[in-house]
Amino acid sequence: MYIHLGNDCSIRRSNIIAVLDMDNATLSKNTREFFRIAEEEGFIESISNDIPKSAVICEIDNKSKIYLSPVASSTIRKRIADGLKSDVKFKID
């Protein structure tokens, strides 16, 4: 299942490691340092010109990638949860 992150970007749910709220994540000095290093190393991709509301940390083909998304982290988490519910198979006797 794919999770839509905004604009034309969708990622396989199985590739998502974490979804961070940018307002909360940037409060921590350690997290800001993490994002600074990730930016320098080329791991960050902004998928919109809008101010990012969330950061989605992924591993794709054994490479780390951080997508800055205009979609709220709560919305992305809900899309992931809804996808998990749809994967559940019910046995009817």
Backbone angles phi, psi at 28, to 5 degrees: -85, 135
> Does residue 4 contact residue 49 with C-beta atoms inside 8 Å?
no
Whole-structure pTM value: 0.85
Instruction: Tell me, yes or no, whether 91 lies in a domain.
Output: no
Query: How far is 63 from 11, CA to CA, in rounded Å?
Result: 14
Number of structural domains in the chain: 1
Instruction: Tell me, yes or no, whether 69 lies in a domain.
Output: yes
pLDDT tens per residue, range 43-58: 999 999 999 999 999 9
Domain ranges, residue 31:
2-83
Instruction: Tell me, yes or no, whether 92 lies in a domain.
Output: no
| C-alpha closest to that of 73 among 44, 49, 53, 47 | 53
pLDDT tens per residue, range 5-44: 999 999 999 999 999 999 998 899 999 999 999 999 999 9
